[in-house]
Amino acid sequence: MNINLKTKNIANLNTIVLAGLDFFIKNKVTRLNFKNKSLCFVVGSVNAYNTGRMLFHKQAALFADEGNFLEILKTYKSLIASQSVKEAIIISASGEKDSIWEIKAAKAAGLKTTLLTCNPDSSGAKLADKNFFFKKISEPYSYNFSTYLGMILSATQENPIAIKKFLGRIKMPRNFKNYSFFTFILPDKFKPIVDMLNVKDDELFGPYSSLRAYSEGNARHAKFICESNKELVVSFGKNPYFGLAKNRWKISLPKEADFGLVLSLAYYLSGLIQASKPSYFKNGLANYCYKTGPKPYKQAKPFAVIVPGN
């Protein structure tokens, strides 16, 4: 049997966005307050890293990921020795994979460790000095919408009812499905979500790349030398410059828009793009989870195609 047949009925990302918002409407998040903490390391892989940039954007922090954390620990060794930096905050939805060695490395360097995770039974949770646990729904592997949205809402305290109503008011262009390429332009404040969108392009489309994303500042730097009639440029706010004028779609954000709403909107639209394309993600997911994904971690156990909620 072709294992990929098991994934043909997986929900698209836009459906998961609405389900995640419904979940948080019924399950209120607690308040996460790290204000006034001293300088700390904030560590996460891929979109956990980007989530950390949102959670700690108002305070001094040293951000690191799985690729540079060990080097950064060496670079700031003197600050750790002087106790100018005392703590590493590790963000990992699963509490497994890279978070395990990151926690061990931080402790070996003399740092206190705090883990933000959705998995209270994880290996990381058993290693960390302190844990913050977050609720989530069941989602296909790598979607990670509710995992990080719960963390974000705990910091921003946005109302998921208002976010869902906003998404319900979005009027899609009638010719949306006729476009081959989609480019997002977001206000500079939301640069971490720009980077999350580019990760979603990797995960949902891979070599069949269908979307790009830039902050307003980045968009000025020769991103539109090559233009196409088949490209829809989606801006969260005004866009007087980028893309063919007839191919620009402006979505006005509420004045109070924060990271939770913008992430929900970005992922919702990404899911609609996913629904308009061939099933690249669904066709490859099972093979990745069962065969190719675990190998770089030297892990025999396969990844879960549908990651359970809690």
The DSSP-derived string for 107-125 is: HHTT-EEEEEES-TTSHHH
For 16, 140, 165, 167, the CA distances from 12, given in Å and listed in that order, are 7, 9, 20, 16
Buried b (16+ CB within 10 A) or exposed e, 16-26: bbbbbbebbee
Please give the mean pLDDT across all residues of the chain.
94
- Rounded-to-integer distance, Cα 273 and Cα 208, Å: 12
Give the residue-averaged pLDDT of 237-264: 97
Let me know: does 134 contact 117? Beta carbons within 8 Å: yes
Residue 5, pLDDT score: 47
Tokens coding 215? 């902050």
Helix (H) or strand (E) holding 20: helix 13-26
For the cut 90, the answer to whether the pLDDT of residue 190 exceeds it is yes
pTM of the model as a whole: 0.94
Q: Coil, strand, or helix at residue 248? A: strand
For the cut 60, the answer to whether the pLDDT of residue 1 exceeds it is no
For the cut 90, the answer to whether the pLDDT of residue 310 exceeds it is no
For the cut 60, the answer to whether the pLDDT of residue 80 exceeds it is yes
Give all domains of the chain, ordered by start, each with its CATH number.
7-154+300-307 (3.40.50.10490), 162-280 (3.40.50.10490)
CA torsion, ordered 233, 235, 240, 243, to nearest 10 deg: -10
- Rounded-to-integer distance, Cα 64 and Cα 42, Å: 6
| Span 275-309, pLDDT tens digits | 999 999 999 999 999 999 999 998 889 999 999 99
- Is the pLDDT higher at 1 or at 92? 92
Strands lying side by side in the sheet with 112-117: 61-64, 40-44, 87-91, 112-117, 130-133
Residue 124, pLDDT score: 97
Residue 139, pLDDT score: 97
Give the residue-averaged pLDDT of 71-97: 96
Residue 85, pLDDT score: 96
For the cut 90, the answer to whether the pLDDT of residue 7 exceeds it is no
